[in-house]
Amino acid sequence: MTALEVRNLHKRYGQHVAVDDVSFTVEEGEVFGIIGPNGAGKTTTVETIAGLRTPDSGSISVLGLDPIKDRAEVRERLGVQLQESSFPDAIKVAEALELYSSFYRNPADWRELMELLGLTEKRNTKYQALSGGQKQRLSIALALVGNPKIAILDELTTGLDPQARRDTWSLIERVRDTGVTILLVTHFMDEAERLSDRIAVIDGGRVAAVDTPAGLIAQSSAVQQVRFRVSQPLDKRVLTELPDVTNVEITEGRWLVTGRGQLLSSVAGALARAQVVAEDLRVDQRSLDDAFVAFTGRAPEFPEPAKRSVA
């Protein structure tokens, strides 16, 4: 079933059009990623979905509710972790969770959330004393304490070191497994590719593409390349006559085979039939970074260098 539906969304700030006819749907239990360059309209889109901004036109349905007209009900069903979050330095982890849980009719058990997110040992630690990874985990816990059906997570791993980022990914996967639908906004292509079931690429306030990570990569280019050396002499025609092969180059004993479709299996089959072993074989595969460049015309941008933190 559809958890979230955005139709023809428009949002302008003076003469600047931040969101220009954005449409997409998110299914229940799905992790739906949103990627795009800085200033593409990602954060404005999710803030409008959360009811923090009023759209100029278009419609948003959050579990069948309008985030502006049904603000109180949407607030009960939607958890939000925004890119910029701050809390009083002196508030303790347990105090923050208990306070936030009091804002909801049917909150989750904040003690269980604290355990789920690995914060129990930090229950009496002040916010200012938490590491970057621990602050992010608390931010996620606070987004989930209302027992939401949908969680919006905006740039949740920005500023974390690689290990802290991967620990946070594991936490998000555990949250998804509880049935929560997740809308994930990120600058990091590896994060989007690992966590998202589908991804929307937003550029210039518009949706450039929506597909699975593999589908976006396939859309960006169907060209594949296989590199290897052969264990014994091989007639070039063994490969050039394959229907999936478009070109074969041999440079200093190294073969480069370019093609489409099931290129790797076609090449491997042909070599096996010729009783030739492919040595030092490498497949040059397209990545989500390549797809991002193809759809937006620029490389992914990073908000800031990763800071060292202990998760």
Tokens of 196: 């998202």
Give the residue from 270, 279, 282, 283 showing the smallest Cα distance to 235.
270
The 3-state DSSP class for residue 203 equals: strand
Region 295-305: mean pLDDT is 66
Q: Whole-angstrom Cα distance, residue 274 to residue 184?
A: 48
Please list the alpha-helical segments (H only) found in 145-287. Answer: 162-177, 189-195, 213-220, 237-240, 263-273
Residue 219 pairs in a beta bridge with none
* Domain 2-77+148-218: CATH architecture, name and number where available: 3-Layer(aba) Sandwich (3.40)
Does the pLDDT of residue 309 top 80, yes or no? no
Residues of the chain with CATH 3.30.70.100: 222-285
The 3-state DSSP class for residue 106 equals: coil
Confidence grade of residue 224 (pLDDT, cut at 50, 70, 90): confident
Q: Whole-angstrom Cα distance, residue 138 to residue 113?
A: 9
Confidence grade of residue 99 (pLDDT, cut at 50, 70, 90): very high
Contact 67, 74 (CB under 8 A): yes
Tallying the residues shown for the chain, one arrives at: 311
Confidence grade of residue 133 (pLDDT, cut at 50, 70, 90): confident
Region 167-183: mean pLDDT is 90
Strands of the sheet containing 181-185, edge to edge, are 78-81, 150-154, 181-185, 31-35, 198-203, 206-211
For residue 145, the Cα-to-chain-centroid distance in whole angstroms is: 22
Q: Whole-angstrom Cα distance, residue 5 to residue 40?
A: 19
Specify the CATH class of 222-285 in words: alpha beta
Does the pLDDT of residue 177 top 50, yes or no? yes
pLDDT at 175: 87
Residues of the chain with CATH 3.40.50.300: 2-77+148-218
Say which amino acid occupies 20.
D
Give the residue from 194, 197, 231, 228 showing the smallest Cα distance to 215.
197
What is the residue-averaged pLDDT of the chain? 89
Say which amino acid occupies 164.
A
Half-sphere exposure of 118 (CA within 13 A, CB side): 17
